[in-house]
């Protein structure tokens, strides 16, 4: 007997499709944008050091091509307007966004990645399904969304390729896309694991809270994390744009460890 196939989104028994983690429509744009770059050779080399994302085979055609493709279409639109640009150090931009479409897409990417890697937060992400599917905007209040900009960074080539002995340098631009975690740790206060989605110059951080939890806890966390991570800003549901300053982190630093860890002292 054939094994029951349940869609990871609608939870119905249906014929399932096979998809890559990064939607094809978006992947094509990323590829085209990177190909024009003179540092393409170095970028593809760096990209290879990051494990490949296998495919997802547990989503039905309706969820994929109807419900979730609205989110993918929105991100492609945002890519053409915002993510295509590589932002320079200290540059200030006004980032325009549709809060729920952006957050639902980031949660979808995180949920897909969590299932691929059997990550510890798979269940927490699964609880967000009614929000991801656009059925319950209130549920989204239990997840905070932060944005941070990554700047191009000059690196010695031998840091990337050990066979190089010269002091020659290269500018690494933030052109990598990946989904992972960040451990935010403040001694004597505590730590929290956040989801992070990197898309070229932009890094989006998602912080999860109990849905019944008070707003005070979220406000406290916002003031601590934004005071420790330079350039990090909370995006709000009642706003349509935010000014972001590209002072966050260098592209090479951000890449060095796919599971970036930030540890901060209590000193400002
Ligand atoms: Zn489905």
Instruction: Tell me if 36 is assigned to some domain.
Output: yes
Q: What is the mean pLDDT of each run of 10 residues along the chain (268 residues)?
A: 79 92 90 70 60 81 94 97 94 97 98 92 96 95 96 88 88 87 85 93 95 84 94 96 93 68 38
Side-chain-side CA neighbours of residue 264 (13 Å)? 19
Instruction: Tell me if 9 is assigned to some domain.
Output: no
Q: Please state the domain count of the chain.
A: 1
Report how far ligand 1's centroid is from the alpha carbon of 116 (Å): 17
Instruction: Tell me if 268 is assigned to some domain.
Output: no
Which position has the token pair 């929290």? Answer: 192
Q: Which residues have CB less than 5 Å away from ligand 1 (the ion)?
A: 7, 9-10, 60, 63
Report how far ligand 1's centroid is from the alpha carbon of 48 (Å): 32
Domain hosting residue 93, numbered range: 16-263
Which pLDDT does position 148 carry in this prediction? 95
Which pLDDT does position 3 carry in this prediction? 57
Instruction: Tell me if 4 is assigned to some domain.
Output: no
Which pLDDT does position 264 carry in this prediction? 42
pLDDT per residue as tens digits for the range 70-105 = 999 999 999 999 999 999 999 999 999 999 999 999
Instruction: Tell me if 174 is assigned to some domain.
Output: yes
pLDDT per residue as tens digits for the range 160-193 = 788 888 999 988 888 888 898 988 988 877 899 9
């Amino acid at each position: 007997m054939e094994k029951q196939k349940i869609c990871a989104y609608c939870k119905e028994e249906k014929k399932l499709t096979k998809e890559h983690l990064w939607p094809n429509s978006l992947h094509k744009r990323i590829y085209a944008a990177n190909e024009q770059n003179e540092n393409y050779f170095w970028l593809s080399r760096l990209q290879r050091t990051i494990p490949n994302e296998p495919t997802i085979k547990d989503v039905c055609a309706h969820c994929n091509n109807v419900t979730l493709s609205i989110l993918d279409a929105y991100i492609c639109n945002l890519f053409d307007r915002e993510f295509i640009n590589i932002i320079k150090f200290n540059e200030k931009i006004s980032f325009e966004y549709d809060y729920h479409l952006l957050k639902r897409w980031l949660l979808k990417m995180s949920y897909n990645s969590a299932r691929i890697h059997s990550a510890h937060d798979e269940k927490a992400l699964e609880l967000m399904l009614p929000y991801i599917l656009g059925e319950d905007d209130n549920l989204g209040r239990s997840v905070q969304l932060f944005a941070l900009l990554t700047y191009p960074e000059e690196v010695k080539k031998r840091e990337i390729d050990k066979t190089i002995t010269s002091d020659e340098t290269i500018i690494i631009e933030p052109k990598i896309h990946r989904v992972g975690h960040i451990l935010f740790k403040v001694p004597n206060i505590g730590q929290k694991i956040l989801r992070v989605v990197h898309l070229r110059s932009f890094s989006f951080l998602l912080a999860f809270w109990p849905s019944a939890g008070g707003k005070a806890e979220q406000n406290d966390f916002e003031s601590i994390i934004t005071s420790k991570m330079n350039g990090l800003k909370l995006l709000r549901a009642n706003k349509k744009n935010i000014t972001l300053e590209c002072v966050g982190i260098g592209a090479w630093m951000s890449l060095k460890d796919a599971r970036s860890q930030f540890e901060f002292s209590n000193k400002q």
